[in-house]
Chain A
Amino acid sequence: MLRVVGAKDVDSLFQAALQKYLFRGKLNLPPPVTELELKREVCATLEKNRTTEQVLSFLGAGCWQHVVPEVCNEINSRSEFLTAYTGDVYTDLGRFQALFEFQSLLGDLVAMDAVTYPSYDWATAAGDALRMAINATGRKEVLVPLSASPERVRVMQQYLGAGKMRHFGYDERTGQADLQSLEDMISEETAAVYIENPAYLGFLEKDAEKAGKIARDNGALFIVGVEPLSLGVLKPPGEYGADIVCGEGQPLGLRQYFGGALLGFVACRDDPDLLNATGARLITMTDTIKKGERGFTFALPERVMFAKREESATFTGTTAVLWAITAAVYLSLLGPAGVGELSRTIMEKSHYAAKILGEVPGIEAPVLDSPFFQEFVVSFGTKSVKDVQSALLRSGIQGGKDITYDFPQYGNSALYCVTEVHTAADIDRLADILSRVLR
């Protein structure tokens, strides 16, 4: 090969190309290991973790513990899906079709006709949705409730740049968005009103439709962020006036992975003005030259970064396609009835937990007086969340997320999450240990 290349050795090749930039030292990295040694070493390191299979966890707040059907793991381990990348529809028909099916299933779940290529996570999907609204309306700012996820808000601000996000209030007793505050703030500068439903603190926005109407009456777009499994029981945003829906797909068959397996999604009305305002790829079904045969291709390909560079509405590229395929598998397994049943099971268990915890002296739960789905705020009165957490952990329980810092108005509070994975016995055990901790 060197002879064909016309180089004496590889080094001379690098010397020719890199010249003075060629690094001649030795990297200070550990020496190589064999497969056997690697397994031993990495397994020993991972052994230091105590997982949510080993402790009883009540964490949610953006990443949720759910049952993951083994079929999901099987399909996303298929080496073809795992190792493909940017082939076209002739080589990667399966990848295109699976993505179209992801778009379709999600479209039915949120009741929207258009769904884009996946994003990295809910927060970046919301960032994309907000940028889309600014592009589509030509307006400058977006309105976001103060009850929104602080983590997501930080990412959205990153996507918007300084000074483009303003916050409207919420009722502290119920968590409900303060529509008067929204009315007062909305103006001709408002590109979009964004709400989360279920909200970060777990409650459901009862008057989401009215928030959408306020947006529409003022020429702004209405964006709703959702946790998708709630939509088995909760009205899909497409049916209460949303122009754009975004959210987190991790509950759809993806394991927690220390927050490393997130899947953002964006859906919207099938409106060329909206679709032209995003730089995300879009897969459309189409025909082939053979009668009756279906194919797939990218819709509006000229919008994306790869065609327009800095003129594109956003950057895109490698996102989370394997996870989108997994979500399609998950929703296919669940089917229409399964989604409804799962939503109901989650609600039953979380409401049971809130009820049982609320009966523990020294605990207030749920703190917010509103309907909720799988998460709810628990207050520990005078006892700090930190102390409660440490005590719980000693008994093998990981408590909910401490929200004392982000939502100081609720005092010593944490956001608890209960899903279908929790049994009545798990919940009773939590209540039992908490009652001892708080005694």
Chain B
Amino acid sequence: MSRPSILGYHAVSWQEPVIYELGAKGRRGFKVPEAEPRVKKAVGDVVKTIPGRMRRRDPPAFPELTEPEVVRHFLRLSQLTFGVDSGINAGVGTCTMKYSPKVNEALVRSPKLTELHPLQDEECVQGVLELMYSLEGMLCEISAMDAFSLQPRGGAHAVFTNARIIDAYMRDRGERKEKDEIVTIVLSHPCNGASPAAAGFKVRTVYPNMKTGIPDIESFKRAVSKRTAGLMITDPYDTGVFDTNLEEYIKIVHEAGGLVAIDQANLNSVLGRLRIGEFGADMCQFNLHKSFSTPHASGGPGCSPIGVKKALADFLPVPIIERDGGRYRFDFDRPKSIGKVAEFYGVVPNVVRAYCWIRSMGPEGLLETSAAAALNDNYLVKRLSGVRGVTLPWSRTFPMRLQEARFSLESLRRETGIGIEAVNRRIVDYGVQRIFPGHEPWIVSEPFTPEPTESSSKEDLDRFAEVMKAVCDEAYTHRSVFRNAPHNCSIHRVDMKAATDPKRWALTWRAYRRKRSQRSITEA
């Protein structure tokens, strides 16, 4: 089989056992501190104070390993994971896979931060409060909002929080009964539908005109009524299109008495160049793990501060941080507040990382960030646009994209039978991270959505485009390679049957063992 010269990659393949298959009886990985003899003597057999019916009978069926065995196992698992630091992540759109500076990692590992308890006397936590307060101020400046809360712990959580604020605001005005709908646009991140639904709203979804790639003003107007409590959307959309009708939408919703929350999880490409508060938005959110460089941490912790205009500040979650002279303090006494959306005050290490990042960048650096991100994005758009089988819907109406760009492999699928699912199993053979298809429903068929961010070099982008071209060419010349792809990864093609079969799925090792033995009994 002839293979393009750019292949040559193979992932680490340890065939690492599940941890339950490692170690041996009696091994220990950590010595637990013991109580002093006088303590033991004073209290006796304390476990006996628990009634027998509530005592644990058998220890949990954990594996027994030494410290070096645990380290080796998890180190290998880390090697079997492809992070931003590992290689090209330019295909992972809507995720903003940017580099996280190492100095910030060093700073957040300071015991001066890690060893703080959230309920310590305010005297003892002035330093961390100062950093939190300062970040809020910076985010206000970046967004043109008046107040921020750092409490939400992820993007969808922030959208949920904003929906709860809309709910509280409408209740406060006695309008919540009538105002029970949130309008969203399907080109926004799915949480703009899911989160307001979880917050108790009906969701009306506006679809784009398939000719232009954005909604018609008329269809948008039809979705808005006196029942509209708010609008919750992203802009730029997932397609990378910035909809310049935004101000019009905001006006329509405001005239209907609704609030507007713009999900700016992916602010990156407009950082320092679009301040949403200047255009009538009442609320917004940022994902620190996207635009502000905090690491994605394999899927969190994230941190997603929300920003609001003055009229909504009273509704923010408690506590808020106040500054009196040189002292910082928490204010819990906020009668109109929605209350709490998570415990304590937010993902503090990410708050500090984001503060450090903005401090290192300065205003010029933020502009450079969005400049490089937008340039990279549009450069990649051009490089991919010529690839056989790849099309960019609405390239005529919206040639310039921000953040990302939603391509389609529909031609490729029609001509070769190979669609995004198979392409994604193959592209990883070339040593790049998989590509993000698109959120559902697929407005663009067989979608894929690259987002290079400012962290990709030109060489990365050229390489990624070359890989994409090689994979698409294979679809025309070498279709069989897709059938059992991937070939160069840590494992082979996965059997998906377990995903939907209750007899087969195993969410834990104990379930796996039980089901396996049940199956072998049935089969015998």
Q: Let me know if A429 is at the binding interface, CB within 8 A.
A: no
Q: In angstroms, how far is the closest chain B Cβ from the Cβ of A41? A: 7
Q: Contacting chain A: which of B14-22, B206-214, B308-316, B467-475? A: B14-22
CB–CB A398/B120 < 8 A: yes
**Chain A interface, number of residues (Cβ within 8 angstroms):** 201
Give the complex CA separation of A316 and B164 in angstroms: 16
Q: In angstroms, how far is the closest chain B Cβ from the Cβ of A103? A: 5
CB–CB B510/A295 < 8 A: no
- A46-B127, A258-B113, A389-B121 given as contacts; is B53 within 8 A of A105 (CB)? no
Give the complex CA separation of A277 and B32 in angstroms: 39
CB–CB A398/B124 < 8 A: yes
CB–CB B54/A235 < 8 A: yes
CB–CB A30/B39 < 8 A: no
Q: Let me know if A286 is at the binding interface, CB within 8 A.
A: yes
Return the contact of A336 from the options B62, B106, B366, B510 (Cβ within 8 A): B62
Q: In angstroms, how far is the closest chain A Cβ from the Cβ of B134? A: 9
Return the contact of A295 from the options B73, B82, B341, B491 (Cβ within 8 A): B491
**Of all chain A residues, which has the CB nearest B126?**
A48
Q: In angstroms, how far is the closest chain B Cβ from the Cβ of A202? A: 13
CB–CB A80/B83 < 8 A: yes
CB–CB B297/A81 < 8 A: yes
Interface residues of A in 101-159 (CB under 8 A from B): 101, 103-109, 111-118, 120-124, 131, 151-152, 154-155, 157-159
**Of all chain B residues, which has the CB nearest A31?**
B362
Chain A residues within an 8 Å CB radius of B55: 233-235
Chain B residues within an 8 Å CB radius of A120: 153-154, 157, 300-301, 342
**Chain B interface, number of residues (Cβ within 8 angstroms):** 206
Q: Let me know if B199 is at the binding interface, CB within 8 A.
A: yes
CB–CB B65/A335 < 8 A: yes
Instruction: Choose among B47, B97, B198, B496 the residue with the greatest number of A CB atoms under 10 Å from its CB.
Output: B198
Chain A residues within an 8 Å CB radius of B434: 87-88, 90-91
CB–CB A349/B39 < 8 A: yes
Return the contact of A105 from the options B62, B200, B297 (Cβ within 8 A): B62
Give the complex CA separation of A120 and B109 in angstroms: 20
Q: Let me know if A407 is at the binding interface, CB within 8 A.
A: no
Give the complex CA separation of A301 and B379 in angstroms: 34
Give the complex CA separation of A288 and B95 in angstroms: 28
Q: Let me know if A315 is at the binding interface, CB within 8 A.
A: yes
Chain A residues within an 8 Å CB radius of B164: 158
Return the contact of B350 from the options A5, A87, A260 (Cβ within 8 A): A260
CB–CB B371/A10 < 8 A: yes
Q: Let me know if B324 is at the binding interface, CB within 8 A.
A: no
CB–CB A255/B114 < 8 A: yes
Give the complex CA separation of A38 and B354 in angstroms: 12
Q: Let me know if A435 is at the binding interface, CB within 8 A.
A: no
Give the complex CA separation of A89 and B365 in angstroms: 35
Q: Let me know if B500 is at the binding interface, CB within 8 A.
A: yes
Return the contact of A115 from the options B54, B56, B57, B508 (Cβ within 8 A): B508
CB–CB B61/A108 < 8 A: yes
**Of all chain B residues, which has the CB nearest A307?**
B440
CB–CB A83/B100 < 8 A: yes
Chain B residues within an 8 Å CB radius of A61: 119
Q: In angstroms, how far is the closest chain B Cβ from the Cβ of A367? A: 16
Q: Let me know if A310 is at the binding interface, CB within 8 A.
A: yes
Interface digits, B81-121 against A, CB 8 Å rule (1 contact, 0 not)? 11111100100100101001001011101111111111111
Give the complex CA separation of A177 and B111 in angstroms: 39
Q: Let me know if A297 is at the binding interface, CB within 8 A.
A: yes
Give the complex CA separation of A88 and B432 in angstroms: 12
Interface digits, B49-91 against A, CB 8 Å rule (1 contact, 0 not)? 1110111110111111101001101111111111111100100
CB–CB B115/A53 < 8 A: yes
CB–CB A258/B50 < 8 A: no
Give the complex CA separation of A97 and B498 in angstroms: 15
Q: Let me know if A167 is at the binding interface, CB within 8 A.
A: no
Q: In angstroms, how far is the closest chain A Cβ from the Cβ of B226? A: 21
Give the complex CA separation of A83 and B296 in angstroms: 5
CB–CB B103/A39 < 8 A: yes
Chain A residues within an 8 Å CB radius of B51: 206, 371
Give the complex CA separation of A111 and B60 in angstroms: 8
Return the contact of B246 from the options A21, A30, A62, A307 (Cβ within 8 A): A21
Interface residues of A in 187-219 (CB under 8 A from B): 204-206, 208-209
Q: Let me know if B256 is at the binding interface, CB within 8 A.
A: no
CB–CB B490/A316 < 8 A: no
Interface residues of A in 358-380 (CB under 8 A from B): 371
CB–CB B508/A420 < 8 A: no
Q: Let me know if B222 is at the binding interface, CB within 8 A.
A: no
Give the complex CA separation of A63 and B344 in angstroms: 9
Q: In angstroms, how far is the closest chain B Cβ from the Cβ of A11? A: 8
Chain A residues within an 8 Å CB radius of B125: 49-50, 258
Return the contact of B489 from the options A59, A91, A233 (Cβ within 8 A): A91
Give the complex CA separation of A17 and B391 in angstroms: 20
- A21-B279, A26-B363, A347-B47 given as contacts; is B131 within 8 A of A45 (CB)? yes
Interface digits, B147-161 against A, CB 8 Å rule (1 contact, 0 not)? 000000111110110
Q: Let me know if B166 is at the binding interface, CB within 8 A.
A: no
Q: Let me know if B229 is at the binding interface, CB within 8 A.
A: no
CB–CB A121/B343 < 8 A: yes
Q: Let me know if A437 is at the binding interface, CB within 8 A.
A: no
CB–CB A321/B70 < 8 A: no
Chain A residues within an 8 Å CB radius of B78: 75, 78, 80-81, 94
Chain A residues within an 8 Å CB radius of B355: 42
Chain A residues within an 8 Å CB radius of B130: 45, 48
Chain B residues within an 8 Å CB radius of A90: 11, 425, 428, 434, 486, 489-491, 494
Return the contact of A345 from the options B35, B279, B346, B507 (Cβ within 8 A): B35
Q: In angstroms, how far is the closest chain B Cβ from the Cβ of A331? A: 6
The list of the 7 closest CB pairs from A to B, nearest first, reads A260-B348, A259-B344, A32-B362, A259-B118, A94-B80, A83-B83, A321-B299
Given contacts A309-B197, A317-B155, A348-B43, 14 further A-B contacts (CB under 8 A): A29-B138, A30-B362, A62-B343, A79-B83, A84-B84, A158-B164, A161-B167, A240-B54, A299-B507, A310-B196, A319-B299, A325-B298, A342-B32, A351-B43
Chosen A-B contacts, 21 in total, with CB atoms closer than 8 Å, are: A14-B370, A23-B273, A32-B362, A71-B70, A82-B105, A85-B89, A86-B92, A88-B424, A124-B157, A235-B53, A260-B345, A260-B350, A283-B507, A309-B441, A312-B194, A335-B62, A339-B60, A341-B34, A345-B32, A371-B51, A420-B33
